[in-house]
Amino acid sequence: MELTGAEIFVECLKAEGVDTIFGYPGGAVLHIYDALYKEAEHVNHILVRHEQAAVHAAEGYAKATNRPGVVLVTSGPGATNAVTGIADAYMDSVPLVVFTGQVPRHLIGNDAFQEVDIVGITRPCVKHNFLVTDVKDLASTVKKAFYIASTGRPGPVLVDIPKDITAARCEFNYPKEISIRSYNPTVKGNKRQVRRAIDLMLESKRPILYTGGGVVLSGGAAELTQLARELKFPVTNTLMGLGAYPATDPLFVGMLGMHGTYEANHAMHQSDLVIAIGARFDDRVTGNIEKFCPHAKIIHVDIDPASISKNVKVDIPIVGDVKHVLADLLEELHSRKDWQTADISAWWAQINEWRKTDCLHYEQDHESIRSQFVVEKLWEVTGGDAYVTSDVGQHQMWAAQFYKFDKPNRWINSGGLGTMGFGLPAAMGVQIAYPEATVACITGDGSIQMNIQELSTCMQYQLPIKIITLNNGYLGMVRQWQEFFYQKRYSMSYMDALPDFVKLAEAYGHVGMRIERPADVEGALKEAMAMKNRLVFMDFITKRESNVYPMVPANAGHNEMILV
């Protein structure tokens, strides 16, 4: 039986087990939307208010579930509005399949209404993209898109579909399997390299496990936890890796990097062996490359061979899926019947000395609310079991420092691209994936306004997200850098025309709260969390000029931190 391209599209989604798609309709995709209308019981479409938000919502869904997020937008501005979200997903290795409408084939290249070359525009920020030119290729192209997005190093894949393709007809045959000759990601690590890695790990006297988002993406948190506890090695997470190892465990030394802990950064600097797992040695971790880990040999486990020795030369590279390689490391360790590590008691004594610095200490007075205090109380009130999204800036760093993530996939933020406006739509995606879960969006008074129109989406779909706005009247991280490095010339970082967020939330049909006294913080959070079926927008009026500490200045070594 022949189906239209639009009907084939929907059947492909059903065959992939897609239950949710985020999008916004327009002329080039109306055939698809008509087909979705007829299959609404099988594929739930979430209508956002801006295409960027559709992609961020799909990212939140994907990060929370480890399943590909799916997006559908129209041609022209619909496609270009999605580019920021696509670039964000590319930087953070998020599995997405983004479908864009395109003008009919005979109009491509004619500057037709709402025509853009979205394949050309997105080529630098997708894992792969396709332009469908024959309806007979549509099903196999969709299959390839999901396969590429979710295997190897995950990432966004874009499929551009001309409108006439969605009207054309052909027989529907969805491939059960796909093979792409030029794309065969390595999953299993090299056994010889695994043995060499264990040799170094058992010999090391100052080891540290440096673990990133790849552990979360691969589902390897349990294997990492077992390995660390058996070896009794200290563990540090990157911003994207938080939750890969339990933050309340004694072996955890905190997040590392520009706003990492004193003990984590010093342990990295003084280590004689860095075991990097699913991390990419980005500039926010390394600081000045010339000063990074000067005494250490480096083992690097990553699914992407292009990431190994890209920024930092490593001694033992292991290409493979993190979960599989961690299992291989455990198997190799257990195969050595009488294995034991070198004595690292002196190393732990030194780490515990660094811990005494108490680098995250702050003073909460009775007058003005400290942002750190709000995040700590959120952690207590939610029992550390919420899904937490954030936007980008000071509030993001305080969330990372003070909400202790003990589970993977609970910390949902924009790491590589640093996208303001990510937090609220990402929270929508998480809440849709897990309707009964507590989902909190920690944001700032600048970031929340980037996609604040999604409060309308939240009302339409009754999403009971809890928004925690740390309102200091500034673009906080911009102001902090201007204080430190631009002699307090606060150029365009002061927000002197903020809306009344309480009234704004109420205008969208939600509950609004303004909290101005430290004594009211805990009670407000408890009251909000008790409203299980309502979105609550909490506007916390916080200390105006607080800074995030520790901080590694630009071009400094990762051990050269500003503490106060």
Strand order through the sheet with 411-412:
411-412, 387-390, 439-444, 466-471, 536-541, 511-515
pTM of the model: 0.97
Residue 113 is among the residues annotated as catalytic for this protein? yes
Active-site option among 63, 127, 163, 323: 163
**pLDDT mean across residues, the chain:** 97
| Cross-strand partners of 276 | 210, 300
Active-site option among 14, 113, 191, 531: 113
pLDDT at 460: 98
- The superfamily in CATH containing domain 191-355 is TPP-binding domain (3.40.50.1220)
Token pair of 247 as six digits? 């933050």
Residue 163 is among the residues annotated as catalytic for this protein? yes
Active-site option among 114, 226, 364, 453: 114
Token pair of 457 as six digits? 């989406």
Q: Which residues contact 88 (CB under 8 A, 6 or more apart)?
A: 55, 56, 59, 94, 414, 416, 417, 419, 422
The residue extents of the domains of the chain are 2-171, 191-355, 371-541
pLDDT at 94: 98
Active-site option among 51, 263, 332, 376: 51
Task: State which amino acid sits at residue 448.
Answer: I
| pLDDT above 70 as % of the chain | 100
Confidence of residue 120 (pLDDT cuts 50, 70, 90): very high
Residue 538 is among the residues annotated as catalytic for this protein? no
Whether the domain at 2-171 and the domain at 191-355 fall into the same CATH topology: yes
| Cross-strand partners of 474 | 494
Asked whether the beta carbons of 466 and 414 are under 8 A apart, the reply is no
230-270 pLDDT tens trace: 999 999 999 999 999 999 999 999 999 999 999 999 999 99
Mutual angle of helices 394-402 and 371-381, in 10-degree steps: 40
β-pair type (536-541, 511-515): parallel
Confidence of residue 400 (pLDDT cuts 50, 70, 90): very high
The whole-number average pLDDT for the span 510-521 is 98
CATH topology of domain 371-541: Rossmann fold (3.40.50)
| pLDDT above 90 as % of the chain | 97
pLDDT at 1: 80
Residue 561 is among the residues annotated as catalytic for this protein? no
Measured between alpha carbons, how far is 89 from 433 in angstroms, rounded to an integer?
18
Token pair of 482 as six digits? 């201007």
Measured between alpha carbons, how far is 95 from 343 in angstroms, rounded to an integer?
42
Please determine, for residue 197, whether its predicted confidence score (pLDDT) is greater than 90.
yes
Write the DSSP assignment of 93-135 as a string of letters.
T--EEEEEEE--GGGTTTT-TT---HHHHHGGGSSEEEE---G
pLDDT at 193: 98
CATH code for the domain defined by 2-171? 3.40.50.970
Measured between alpha carbons, how far is 96 from 46 in angstroms, rounded to an integer?
16
Confidence of residue 337 (pLDDT cuts 50, 70, 90): confident
Please determine, for residue 203, whether its predicted confidence score (pLDDT) is greater than 90.
yes
Measured between alpha carbons, how far is 159 from 198 in angstroms, rounded to an integer?
43
Asked whether the beta carbons of 374 and 470 are under 8 A apart, the reply is yes
For residue 374, CA distances in Å to 70, 129, 400, 463, 498 come to: 34, 42, 13, 22, 21
Confidence of residue 112 (pLDDT cuts 50, 70, 90): very high
Confidence of residue 362 (pLDDT cuts 50, 70, 90): very high
443-482 pLDDT tens trace: 999 999 999 999 999 999 999 999 999 999 999 999 999 9
263-293 pLDDT tens trace: 999 999 999 999 999 999 999 999 999 999 9
pLDDT at 554: 86
pLDDT at 54: 98
Active-site option among 201, 397, 450, 477: 477
Residue 488 is among the residues annotated as catalytic for this protein? no
The whole-number average pLDDT for the span 51-57 is 98
